[in-house]
Amino acid sequence: DSGVTQTPKHLITATGQRVTLRCSPRSGDLSVYWYQQSLDQGLQFLIQYYNGEERAKGNILERFSAQQFPDLHSELNLSSLELGDSALYFCASSVEGARYNEQFFGPGTRLTVL
């Protein structure tokens, strides 16, 4: 158990819908990362937050947004869903968000868009 929790574990929805994925980092970790894992793209970085502030953005679509709350949990919002958004979404956390910090991954949320 990494100490990072993600809910829900599975999500099935239809095209055009909006969903919210939730992540609680390990106790004491200030930085949260979101990654997308799909068969064709592999593991791709989406976005990083540090202590409530956005720190880095990767290949995140404009239809996707995220935030980190004062209690440090984070939510990833996916809207106007398309079939291609079906993937495994991971949240990871680290102490400071520095290059040398190891990241601890949650179990993931599997999103299926029908």
Partner 1 sequence: AQSVTQLGSHVSVSEGALVLLRCNYSSSVPPYLFWYVQYPNQGLQLLLKYTTGATLVKGINGFEAEFKKSETSFHLTKPSAHMSDAAEYFCAVSDRGGKLIFGQGTELSVKP
Closest distance of CB 54 from partner 1, Å: 11
Smaller CB separation from partner 1, 10 or 71: 10
Are 73 and 61 within 8 A, CB to CB?
no
Smaller CB separation from partner 1, 7 or 17: 7
Q: Rounded CA gap, 54 and 67, in Å? A: 8
Closest distance of CB 16 from partner 1, Å: 28
Residues contributing to the site for partner 1 (CB under 8 A): 2, 4, 31, 33, 35, 42-45, 48, 55-56, 58, 90, 92, 94, 96-108
Q: Rounded CA gap, 68 and 24, in Å? A: 10
Say if strands 31-38 and 87-94 run parallel, antiparallel, or are unpaired.
antiparallel
> Rounded to the nearest 5 degrees, what angle is found at the Cα of 40, between the Cα atoms of 43 and 111?
70
Smaller CB separation from partner 1, 9 or 18: 9
Closest distance of CB 2 from partner 1, Å: 6
